[in-house]
Structure formats: C-alpha cells, structure tokens
Amino acid sequence: MSNTRSKFIVVTNDDRNVFALRENVSQYPALITSINSYFPSTRNKTIVIQTRDLEIRAERFVDILPNLWSHIKDDIDNIRVQVIETRATYYWNRIVGLAREVDVLVRGPDVNSLKAATHAVADHLAGKSCPEK
C-alpha cells in the first residue's frame, strides 16, 4: 500500500460509487450521515461498512465496526456499504410470501371473486408490520 493517501475515499453501494472527502468522514457519525445523503435507500436501515483494502483481509470484504473506524479510515481508500436485513424481517417477509402462495391456492386465479374476499391471509399480514420494526 502506498504511504500517500488520496484525500478521497470511494464509497460504494450496489453499483453506484461516489467520492467522499476523507476529512468530512473522519468520524463514524459523519460517515453514516454522508452515506445516507449519497444513498437515500440506506436511511433508517441497518447497514454495515466493509473494506478489502487492508492486506490482512485475505481477499474478502471485512466489516468495519464503528469503534474501529477512526483507526482504519486513514489506511483505506474504498468502502462498501451493505444494507442488512434483520433476521426477524427476513422471516416475516418469507411468511408473507408463503401466505400469498396459500391465498392463490385457496382463491384460485380470480382474485376478484367473492371466494377471494373471504380468504385474504396475505392481505391481512401485509397490512401488519414486522414485529421487530
């Protein structure tokens, strides 16, 4: 790794890359604020910051914990932002998906029929939020 660092860090989310001025993201809360402004889809979501710039990472992305950001930020040039689903949200989404499949089996292909209106499991669940949210 070069001893001379760019004054920028490249921040990546999905297929989009943006430059962040290193001095503007030197503190973790400022980093998160910047990420949320660059990538609005990350707002109010659980995210993890990762890098593979460090030599000790063994060719894989490694999570950067908030308490380590101040120690790592000057040694890296690239970070990746990943939105992670909580386990409860993941299973809730699976339950709603299975309920939709059951509704199709019970209702049949005509979702506008009278029979369809009496068996709306997925519609009932879809109106609820995940208990963890």
For residue 18, the domain's CATH number is 3.10.20.90
On whether both 95 and 63 belong to a single domain, the answer is no
On whether both 58 and 12 belong to a single domain, the answer is yes
pLDDT, position 40: 93
- pTM of the entire structure? 0.63
User: Is residue 1 included in any domain, yes or no?
Assistant: no
Percent above pLDDT 70 for the chain: 75
Provide the domain limits for residue 30. Answer: 8-84
Q: Extract long-range pairs of 84-88: CB within 8 Å, 24+ residues apart.
A: 84/45, 84/46, 84/47, 84/48, 85/46, 86/46, 86/132, 88/130, 88/131, 88/132
User: Is residue 91 included in any domain, yes or no?
Assistant: yes
On whether both 107 and 71 belong to a single domain, the answer is no
Between 44 and 104, the more confident residue is: 44
Q: Give yes or no for residue 98 having a pLDDT over 90.
A: no
Give the tens place of pLDDT for each residue, 23-37.
999 999 999 999 999
Q: How many domains does the chain have?
A: 2
